[in-house]
Amino acid sequence: MSQSRPDPDALLAVAAREGRGRLKVFLGAAPGVGKTYAMLEEARRRQAGGTDVLAGLIETHGRAETEAQLGTLPVLPRIAPGDPRLAEFDLDAALARRPAVLLLDELAHSNAPGSRHPKRWQDVAELRAAGIEVWTTMNIQHLESLSEPVARITGIRVAETVPDRVLAEADAVELIDLPPAELLERLRQGKVYRPDQAARALRGFFREGNLAALRELALRRTADRVDADVTGYMRSHAIAGPWPSGDRVLALLGGDAGAAAVVHHARRIADALRAPLLALHVERPAALAAGGVAAAALRLAEGLGAEAETVVAADLPRASLAEARARNPTHLVLGRGRPAWWRRGLATALLRQGAGYTLHLVPEPAAPLRAPRPRPALPRWFGWAAVPALVAGATLVAFATDGTVPEGAMGMIYLVAIVAAAVGFGPAQGLAAAALAFLAWNFLFLPPRYTLAIAGPQDVVGVVVFALVALLLAGTTGGLGRSVRAAQARLHGLRRLVEFSRLLGAAGTPGDLLEAVARQAERIAGRPACVLMPLPPPPGQTDAEPVLRAAVPQEAEPDAAAMAAARWALAHGRPTGRGTDTLPAGTAWQFRPMRTARGTVGLLGLRLGDAAALEAEADRTLDALLDQAAVAIERAELMEAGARAAARAETEQLRVALLTSLGHDLRTPLTAIRGALGTLRAANLPAAVREDLLTAAEEETVRLTRTIGNILDIVRLENGQVEPRREPVDVAEALEAAAARLERATGRRIRRRIEPGLPEPRLDPALLDQVLGNLLDNALKFSGPEGAVTVAARREGMEVAMLVEDDGPGIPSGELGRIFAPFFRASRADRIAAGSGLGLAIGRGLTQAMGGRIGAESPILPGGRGTRLILRFPA
């Protein structure tokens, strides 16, 4: 790409935004920092300037300051599409009203059932498509890519998320920042939540450490967005980098053994600067043998989180500088290598022409693997200058052998010069060398000397031989050149396919797979690309509807005419659009089906523009890519179907086990209770008998209540509804409380063995008490009426271990790994005690929810008896 011309992709991105409404996001680190307040404050300023501003939906959460900021802003009435208690944003009314600016709070909100879109960010997309500017608010923890890091930081998994592309496509992102100390003070003053909610929030989500980490995430994501805006501006205005607005590290990887060291060194620099890392390999036609080392280095870079890229160019310094100017890095990392002039040429070129970059030269490893060194590219004039030099050299050799070699044989000496020129520099240089060599030979050595006259038949033969050799060498060299270029194009296509195969293996979700297909197609074709997948037809229709699932760049979206061609391609499984025999006019898009033995699984769209077709080699490579993509998509769909089938089978198995447990474990206590009540109706029963019957009925009622509670707990665990509230827990007090409660309930004695001075892990006291109760109940049940049960606690390295031991019959080794599964009961235990088999399963689920581990050991006593259940939590 010329540095004096804007980047076409950047211009396309700018043009795509012209027809859509703007999106401004007020981003915050947590609730209560003032996002809605700031949005309303700016909206009132715009209203005072004459702008038509409409409050589509504002969530004040009862905050008086926020409600006061509404002022005279017109508010759109809410509607209830389903449940009248769930009032939602009226999308149709907003589209009909068409304000200049629409305020829509809480971008990550999930709409009520019956709404047009399930998510509010989808409402925003439709409003922007209609040309309406939207202002909205969002907290950083709702960003889809940050849901897992936020869950690890806060211990709470956010259910409502917004795709990263929504924030990336926003026209403006304004960070509303508030230090954690000030936010906590606002919370204590009741300016964020009601007092009862604020107290719970201070013990859970709103901790100073959590808020500081979320604030860092918000600041970093906003900085990344600003950096992307700066880069886009530079590319759209043809501004050559670097701009030192933010640090970026670019690793220049060669084909030698030092490439891996360059990657590691660049990764350390990027980590120290907290900057993104890019990896670039410039592949030269004369250095194909080094491709394996470079590919391994690129894979290493991708594994370390870098964005890897390969370009093909003959001029290494020029290509490296061009990519550096396009990607705006501030630090360039390259290998020092062995002392060789071509390496010094790259470093020298970067020093001379890249004055704005910081260069890092990485030493070569101590024991490098020798790789073939590529021949440096020579300027075109060098070949023409070498022709007279070769002929002059041959003339000097001829003068030295004059008198020894016959005049007619002198032509063989010049033949060497002709061959060297043709093979080394090309057919044109070979023809020039042949003509010059013939003139020198004829003038200097053929009689009569120092004239160009042809005196004898041998001179005629020499002329013919020179002409034939020159023509033969020119044709052969030209054919070899064309063959080499074709082979290089095929090799480049194969490299793309191998790279794509690796990306297919690394794709984690179907969305990642489709994004990889679109990205590789864009690279091969050099045109914007998209992937459309079939949507099942509605009832009464037979043709599936193509739906856009991925696009590179993101603005590459087919228009209405193109979608008509896409529907035909999906229905008939044949290419359509520009450059084909079907619907070639009226659209700049070409659609190619991705087919397998089962049919068409999707479409690849290319925006060809004015081009009629692709180059032949690119076309063949693209067809091969489509075959691989179709197989990968089909495999992903089959795996997804298999996962759904396995989930249904597991659900069915759980349902059967649940019904079996209900039929057995509920019928027994109900029968006992019914029998006791029926007997109590009889008159004149002794007081002792009546007391026994009432006690039995009470015990069975407690047993029935515990069984129902266990079933409800296992359902909550299966649905992920358990959210621990962590705080420091005294392990000795927790064990003592659980043991004492079980002793009172059963009349049994439980031994204690607790180390003093144990650390206090951060756990949920209520959940821990439930886990210990289930484990102790299990031990008391299976140890028999006279058995011994022991609770213990000790420190094991960086963990605190809590143990429950019994001297019961133990667990068979083949069943030890299954005792924590729902509704499972060990075969030996079934003959001793009844139960639903849910206690240990609930204990495992609650332990894992608190970040701990649970395990079992058996036997622990001679004779194959005894079981030990162990809880481990981070200390």
DSSP state, 355?
T
Chain mean pLDDT for the chain: 77
Q: Which part of the chain is CATH 3.30.450.40? A: 510-636
- The winner for highest mean pLDDT among 276-285, 440-449, 569-578 is 569-578
pLDDT of 176 higher than 70 = yes
For range 504-527, the mean pLDDT: 77
Topology at the third CATH level for domain 8-236: Rossmann fold (3.40.50)
Give yes or no for a contact between 624 and 592, defined as CB atoms under 8 angstroms apart: no
Topology at the third CATH level for domain 727-874: Heat Shock Protein 90 (3.30.565)
**609-665 pLDDT, tens digit each:** 877 677 777 788 888 888 888 888 888 778 777 777 776 776 666 566 555 555 555
Nearest to 90 by CA among 62, 127, 61: 127
Nearest to 262 by CA among 361, 344, 366, 372: 361
Kindly report whether the peptide bond that precedes residue 761 is cis, defined as omega within 30 degrees of 0: no
pLDDT of 289 higher than 70 = no
**51-63 pLDDT, tens digit each:** 999 999 888 877 7
Residue with the two structure tokens 């936010």: 183
**591-625 pLDDT, tens digit each:** 999 988 888 889 999 998 877 677 777 788 888 88
- The pTM of this model reads 0.38
Q: What is the 3-state secondary structure (H, E, C) of 463-490?
A: HHHHHHHHHHHHHHHHHHHHHHHHHHHH
3-state secondary structure (DSSP) of residue 494: helix
Nearby residues of 581 by Cβ (< 8 Å), 6 or more positions away: none
Least confident residue range of 345-349, 507-511, 573-577: 507-511
DSSP state, 815?
G
Give yes or no for a contact between 842 and 774, defined as CB atoms under 8 angstroms apart: yes
**447-481 pLDDT, tens digit each:** 777 777 766 666 666 656 656 665 665 556 545 55
Phi, psi at 703, each rounded to 5° = -60, -40
**817-854 pLDDT, tens digit each:** 667 776 665 554 444 444 555 667 777 888 888 888 88
Topology at the third CATH level for domain 249-362: Rossmann fold (3.40.50)
Topology at the third CATH level for domain 510-636: Beta-Lactamase (3.30.450)
State the pLDDT at residue 714: 59
CA atoms within 13 A on the CB side of 9: 15
Give yes or no for a contact between 142 and 36, defined as CB atoms under 8 angstroms apart: no
**356-399 pLDDT, tens digit each:** 788 888 877 654 434 344 455 567 677 788 888 888 888 888 88
**H-assigned helices in 426-546:** 427-444, 457-506, 510-525
Give yes or no for a contact between 29 and 215, defined as CB atoms under 8 angstroms apart: yes
Q: Which part of the chain is CATH 3.40.50.300? A: 8-236
State the pLDDT at residue 746: 79
Q: Which part of the chain is CATH 3.30.565.10? A: 727-874
pLDDT of 442 higher than 80 = no
State the pLDDT at residue 230: 60
Q: Which part of the chain is CATH 3.40.50.620? A: 249-362
